[in-house]
Amino acid sequence: MIQQENPQVIARTSLHRELVDRLQLLIIGGELAPGIKVPERDLCAQFGVSRTPLREALKVLASDGLVRLEPNRGAWVTTVTVSEVNEVFPVLGALDAISGELACEHITDAEIDEIRALHSQMIESYERRDLDSYFSINQKIHHAILLAARNDTLTTSCQALSLRMQRARYLANMTEGRWYDAVQEHEKILTFVAERNGKKLAKTLRDHMESKRVSVVRWLQNQDAASEE
């Protein structure tokens, strides 16, 4: 049940965007769990809004694949399946590879410095074993590389697909071994960004996404096995 204490009332000037963003965070973070019905009344109380703007925001999330709308039954948080992961992650890997090549053609020294600073922050989060902070900074690094590619079509395509998979990547808690490997992969990413080596960066980003796919699929399969016991 969503807590209604200390309502997080949203300013009217940014109502629509804020609602979409906050609902995304609730879904990606697992507070609105896969398969449950979206508790519209509780959310309206939590955010201090009426059902009309909330339902408009849910329509956006439905177009992003995070919820499904059922006539006369409300909105339901979608589940992530193994088949969906196996379908989407290779596409994301290919798009990441393209973004890496293009980024190395266009990236500025200032952008490289920004990515290097983010990497240092991410390592600090890893050393503290702060997964939430690590995940957030990790996403900023990939987004910075994507923006450096200077290709709006690529950015739009990556963001749309990435949003569908962020939830699975976040919920699939990494083992200590996988987390270590991910950090080592990011060390390579930083090296090839700094060198502006497009081919090596493209391959590393594609391999990095494949490692994520394997990790998420394993987690989903374990979840399915546990539910059958």
State the Cα–Cα distance between residues 173 and 169, nearest whole angstrom. Answer: 8
Give the pLDDT confidence score for residue 5 in this predicted structure.
55
Give the pLDDT confidence score for residue 12 in this predicted structure.
52
pLDDT band at residue 1 using 50, 70 and 90 as cut-offs:
very low
**Start-end ranges of CATH 1.20.120.530 in the chain?**
82-228
Q: Of 75-84, 156-165, 206-215, where does mean pLDDT reach its minimum?
A: 156-165
State the Cα–Cα distance between residues 67 and 167, nearest whole angstrom. Answer: 12
- Statement: residue 119 has pLDDT above 90: yes
Calculate ∠ Cα 152-163-23, nearest 5°.
120
Give the pLDDT confidence score for residue 10 in this predicted structure.
54
Instruction: Provide the mean pLDDT of the chain.
Output: 90
- Statement: residue 4 has pLDDT above 80: no
Kindly give the residue spans of alpha helices, DSSP state H, lying in the chain: 15-28, 40-47, 51-63, 82-106, 109-128, 131-148, 152-171, 176-195, 198-228
- Statement: residue 71 has pLDDT above 50: yes
State the Cα–Cα distance between residues 228 and 214, nearest whole angstrom. Answer: 21
Given a contact cutoff of 8 angstroms between Cβ atoms, the answer to whether 194 and 112 are in contact is yes
**What pLDDT digit, counting tens, does each position of 164-200 carry?**
888 777 767 678 888 999 999 999 999 999 999 999 9
Percent of the chain at pLDDT exceeding 90: 71
pTM of the model: 0.83
Distances in Å between the Cα of 39 and the Cα atoms of 26, 54, 55, 61, 76 are 12, 11, 11, 15, 9
Residue entry with tokens 């508790």: 39
State the Cα–Cα distance between residues 100 and 193, nearest whole angstrom. Answer: 8
In the chain, what is the straight-line distance between the N-terminal and C-terminal CA atoms, in Å?
Answer: 26
Q: Is the dihedral of CA 154, 94, 27, 143 positive or negative?
A: negative
Q: What is the DSSP string of 19-78?
A: HHHHHHHHHHTTSS-TTPBP-HHHHHHHHT--HHHHHHHHHHHHHTTSEEEETTTEEEEP
Which residue has better confidence, 63 or 106?
106
**Architecture in CATH of 82-228:** Up-down Bundle (1.20)
Give the pLDDT confidence score for residue 8 in this predicted structure.
64
When pLDDT is averaged across residues 152-175 and rounded to a whole number, the result is 84
Q: Which residues pair with 74 in a beta bridge?
A: 70
Which fold is adopted by the domain 12-77?
Arc Repressor Mutant, subunit A (1.10.10)
**Start-end ranges of CATH 1.10.10.10 in the chain?**
12-77
Q: Kindly provide the b/e burial profile for residues 81-113, where b requires at least 16 CB atoms within 10 angstroms of the residue's own CB.
A: ebebbeebbeebbebbbbbbbbbbeebeeebbe
Given a contact cutoff of 8 angstroms between Cβ atoms, the answer to whether 98 and 128 are in contact is no
Give the pLDDT confidence score for residue 165 in this predicted structure.
86
Percent of the chain at pLDDT exceeding 70: 93
Give the pLDDT confidence score for residue 134 in this predicted structure.
93
